[in-house]
């Protein structure tokens, strides 16, 4: 790759620490496109195919201005007997404005009044639509996308002269009801409910509709991108983005560190995508791409350092980014963004992601975990205690588990002679079957665990433990501090084992507060303490 890494990809014969260790970071900011707000949700019906008679759909406000569509409430009572007012609608007319009595949030705006179209529409910008929508579905649908925001309760040729359109409201609720309006000769009743919270419902009270094409749903208008129809009978519930897709997004759980390969994930790739690339630059930008036909998209990096293409493998892709082992890269900040060519996603056919800010370091975290139901773990396939040396780190030469340093009012202890673990933690390097140790997956061999001669195994006088215990507890074999030494605990390796604890809870989460110190081959060290991640897990990132 030419660009950020190749531009400074010279190698050093050795790496000497001439500065304090720096942790790399990845931070995602901004947003991708298309805009996560679903600007239009609709269903169309051919003549005689309307299947929502007696149904109801509730559009519940969700993240980023979108909605979750779920089965809705029943219609509320309406008409003069319930304090309603007739709108005076005649055939093919628009009436209004009708003041709601509250602000209804929709499409990023606040709606205080609406117009009513006799043909089953509610217009959320009074005075913005001058001619009723009727009667060709194709033309009606184009106007539904292009004109001002609207809700289609029953978008078809309705004649209210056989009934009326009613309006009622209070300080946080309003309802518009097309009552006994003629729809192809049959009476139809449908209601739109608006809530001050931003939610709304459509209730198809009585809609036999023997013939006539129909449009239902909502649109933010202004040329909103058509993402295709939904099936309000079969698809409910429809949650937030799905099934409409979500914006292009990049993320990473890795920290950019010299001498490692950082993995970046790209999600939200449109189904029509044909090409994708990750852009890299030296500075963040905020360039609106609507001017070139990519409405809602922004260029968030100056892209001066080049790009890396990535494979389109469905809705997601993964990029491996090698970072050479060079001190010259430490502290470098790079602004990254994904771009994908996807016909139909925007008028230009281009979508862009959020921005990822990479700050390169020369050290990654050491992950310490206590995981499981109890510390005398019976699952020998993985240790209850796990220590993983992060990529790019120097070798770990020392590891300390210290309850004494935790400062807890009641100090737990390590019960080193516990026998409930499918072995004995104090078995050390004994070859006796009755004295088997509880290091897991050969990790004591991989990491080069040292068996110091200062601690003899209680079950085998010819063996020594792989640890040194200090700060003894009240019982024989109890220690509050354990030290481990290693000769080959390299980056990317995990040391795992089972040690029982007494004096507190036994689950992984109960180990919170334990202080861990890691010492590296270059003489540096890091200290941290376990914190609760869940009931059965506590973690520390050093």
From residue 76, how far is each of 9, 79, 165, 202, 276 by CA, in Å? 69, 10, 14, 11, 50
Residues 81 and 195 in one domain: yes
CB contact at 8 A, 127 and 97: yes
Domains in the chain: how many in total?
3
Mean pLDDT by 10 residues, the chain (542 residues): 31 30 84 75 92 93 76 91 89 95 91 97 96 89 93 95 94 96 88 96 90 90 81 73 65 86 92 94 94 88 96 93 88 96 86 95 84 80 90 89 91 86 86 89 95 86 92 91 95 92 87 94 91 82 82
Residues 186 and 300 in one domain: no
The pLDDT, as a whole number, for residue 243 is 36
The pLDDT, as a whole number, for residue 17 is 31
User: For every residue of 264-327, which 3-state class applies, written as one string?
Assistant: EEEECCCCCCCEEEEEEECCEEEEEHHHHCCCCCEEEECCCCEEEEECCECCEEEEEEEECCCH
Domain boundary among 338, 359, 380: 359
Residues 310 and 212 in one domain: no
- Look up the CATH number of the domain holding residue 316: 2.60.40
- Examine residue 516 and state whether it is found in any structural domain, yes or no: yes
Task: Of 466, 459, 506, give the one whose Cα is nearest residue 483.
Answer: 466
- Examine residue 296 and state whether it is found in any structural domain, yes or no: yes
- Examine residue 50 and state whether it is found in any structural domain, yes or no: yes
- Examine residue 130 and state whether it is found in any structural domain, yes or no: yes
Strand arrangement, sheet containing 366-371: 494-497, 385-389, 366-371, 537-541, 531-534
Count Cβ atoms below 10 Å from residue 162 Cβ, excluding itself: 15
What are 91-101's pLDDT values in tens digits?
A: 999 999 999 99
Residues 422 and 502 in one domain: yes
- Examine residue 231 and state whether it is found in any structural domain, yes or no: no
The pLDDT, as a whole number, for residue 98 is 97
pTM for this predicted structure? 0.46
Residues 352 and 449 in one domain: no
Residue-number span of the structural domain to which 319 is assigned: 20-35+247-359
Domain boundary among 181, 202, 219: 219
Cα–Cα dist 182/166, whole Å: 15
- Examine residue 5 and state whether it is found in any structural domain, yes or no: no
CB contact at 8 A, 196 and 173: yes
466's CB contacts (< 8 A; 6+ apart) are 428, 429, 437, 439, 444, 449, 450, 451, 484
Residues 75 and 28 in one domain: no
Residues 326 and 353 in one domain: yes
Place of tokens 């990132």: 541
Residues 202 and 270 in one domain: no
Domain boundary among 359, 380, 410: 359
């Amino acid at each position: 790759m030419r660009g950020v890494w190749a531009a400074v990809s010279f190698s050093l014969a050795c790496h000497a620490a001439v500065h304090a260790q720096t942790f790399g970071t990845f931070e995602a900011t901004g947003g991708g496109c298309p805009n996560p707000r679903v600007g239009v949700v609709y269903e169309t019906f051919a003549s005689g195919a309307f299947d929502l008679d007696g149904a109801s759909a509730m559009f519940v406000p969700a993240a980023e201005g979108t909605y979750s569509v779920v089965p809705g409430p029943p219609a509320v009572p309406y008409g003069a007997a319930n304090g309603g007012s007739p709108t005076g609608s005649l055939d093919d007319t628009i009436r209004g404005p009708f003041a709601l009595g509250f602000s209804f949030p929709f499409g990023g705006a606040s709606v205080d009044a609406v117009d009513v179209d006799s043909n089953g529409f509610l217009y959320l910008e009074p005075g913005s639509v001058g001619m009723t929508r009727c009667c060709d579905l194709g033309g009606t649908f184009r106007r539904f996308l292009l004109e001002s925001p609207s809700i289609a309760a029953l978008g078809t040729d309705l004649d209210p002269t056989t009934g009326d359109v009613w309006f009622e409201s209070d300080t946080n609720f309003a309802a518009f009801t097309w009552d006994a309006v003629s729809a192809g000769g049959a009476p139809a009743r449908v209601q739109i409910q608006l809530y001050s919270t931003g939610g709304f419902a459509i209730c198809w009270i009585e809609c036999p509709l023997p013939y006539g094409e129909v449009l239902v749903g909502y649109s933010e208008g202004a040329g909103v991108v058509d993402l295709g129809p939904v099936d309000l009978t079969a698809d409910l519930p429809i949650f937030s983005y799905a099934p409409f897709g979500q914006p292009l997004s990049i993320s990473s759980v890795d920290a950019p560190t010299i001498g490692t390969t950082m993995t970046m994930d790209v999600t939200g790739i449109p189904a029509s995508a044909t090409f994708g690339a990750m852009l890299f630059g030296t500075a963040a930008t905020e360039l609106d791409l609507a001017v070139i036909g990519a409405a809602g998209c922004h260029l968030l990096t100056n892209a001066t350092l080049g790009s890396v293409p990535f494979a389109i493998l469905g809705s997601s892709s993964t990029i491996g980014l090698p970072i050479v082992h060079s001190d010259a890269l430490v502290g470098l900040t790079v602004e990254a963004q994904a771009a994908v060519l996807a016909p139909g996603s925007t008028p230009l056919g281009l979508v862009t992601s959020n921005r990822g800010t990479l700050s390169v370091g020369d050290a990654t975290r050491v992950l310490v975990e206590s995981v499981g139901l109890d510390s005398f773990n019976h699952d020998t396939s993985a240790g209850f205690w796990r220590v993983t040396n992060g990529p790019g780190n120097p070798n770990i030469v020392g590891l300390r588990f210290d309850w004494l340093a935790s400062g807890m009012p009641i100090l737990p202890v390590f019960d080193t002679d516990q026998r409930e673990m499918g072995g004995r933690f104090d078995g050390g390097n004994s070859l006796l079957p009755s004295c088997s140790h509880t290091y897991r997956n050969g990790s004591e061999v991989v990491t080069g665990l040292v068996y110091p001669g200062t601690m003899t195994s209680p079950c085998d006088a010819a063996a020594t433990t792989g640890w040194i215990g200090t700060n003894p507890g009240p019982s024989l074999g109890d220690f509050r501090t354990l030290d481990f030494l290693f000769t080959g605990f390299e980056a990317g390796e995990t040391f795992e084992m089972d040690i029982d604890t007494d004096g507190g809870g036994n689950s992984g989460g109960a180990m919170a507060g334990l202080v861990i110190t890691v010492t590296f081959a270059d003489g540096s060290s890091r200290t941290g303490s376990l914190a609760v991640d869940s009931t059965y897990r506590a973690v520390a990132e050093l």
